[in-house]
Amino acid sequence: MLKLIAPQYPTKALAPLMLEDYRKVMVERRGEEEQFSSEHIVECMKKVIAVDLKQTVHVDKDLQIRAYYAGHVLGAAMFYAKVGDTAMVYTGDYNMTPDRHLGAAQIDRLQLDLLISESTYATTIRDSKYGREREFLKAVWNINTIISQIFLYFY
């Protein structure tokens, strides 16, 4: 029986919402052909097994899987898989630098045969964290100033 391994319980809770939102955008807004229905999502989620970080799941005698914290977004995980004597890690985006809301990625020192990594912004040079935070605070301050002016106008 095919099962989906989902990292952590928040991810399992959010997955059906995200899949349904994707389905609506693609079918109802863009008019594309439906690839899966709401019923498919419900049936799929019945097969999902939530996995805690650093929990090892023995799928069968030859396959084991373990999730590691990716430090990217809430619920993001890297997956270590070992099939027989071959070991690999698959990860989407990960972050090795902690920030104000997430810690750095955490993974054991592993002997791997293969690393598969995806990246959203691999070729993008981003502003410093300090610069991004400063811009964010400036935007919040500007919105707060506008709201205060509107409130005073109506008062």
- Residues classed as catalytic: 118
Residue type for 49, please? Answer: I
Q: Which residues share a beta bridge with 51?
A: 7
Rounded Cα gap, residues 40 and 45, in angstroms = 9
Structure-token match 């069968």, residue found = 60
What is the end-to-end Cα distance of the chain in Å, rounded? Answer: 64
Rounded Cα gap, residues 14 and 75, in angstroms = 9
Residue 71 CB coordination number (10 Å)? 21
